[in-house]
Amino acid sequence: MNRLAIFDCDGTLVDSQHNICAAMAECFSAAGLEVPLPERTRQVVGLSLTEAMQVMLPDAEPDFHVAMAEDYKRAFQAMRARGLEEEPLYEGIAELVEALEAAGWLLAVATGKSDRGLKLCLDHHGLADRFVSLQTADRHPSKPHPSMIAQAMTDAGAAPELTVMIGDTSYDMAMARAAGVGAIGVAWGYHPPDELVRAGAHHVADHPRDILDLTKAWA
């Protein structure tokens, strides 16, 4: 069986918090709602959009959650059309991808992004051909449901005992545990390390260079 390292995208591969917080602020303002603080928005990064709106607006009706999710998409796409989006790779990620491949790992992505958003992001950074499986919110239940990991393992011909999920949120760690795979949290993302540990992280990496050594437990 193959070894598989699955990455989250936002907060793990790229720092997209400026985009996410700006789009959330725009859609809340357009709806006449109080704009959420950035730290509040960062807490729902990783969830699918409708589920994120359910967390942000727990007293609203389901139809309103769906409508807000669509408004968020439009706000994000408008920023992209204006050339305002900022999704830089975190320092050390490109080197980590190369190191994992050299060590014999297949790579995948499991993200709350859409298919279109993920493709644009990976194409921009020249990473699209590095991943054997790309799983998004367009085709799966929201994290922490393990569906994305299950499909990535099928695509890669990998077993749970040889698979790790690398992510920055508690949803990533809970998803990994639900799928029975390794859970490696990253300290440079949007949820604090103690929250990752409570959600089930086996390890938390302080820097991308630490991950290659941490994955040896599943080699």
Q: List the catalytic residue out of 8, 15, 71, 172.
A: 8
Q: List the catalytic residue out of 10, 71, 168, 172.
A: 10
- Asked if 8 is an active-site residue, the reply is yes
- Asked if 10 is an active-site residue, the reply is yes
40-69 in b/e form (b: 16+ CB < 10 A) is ebbbbbbbbbbbbbbebbeeeeeeebebbb
Q: What residues act catalytically?
A: 8, 10
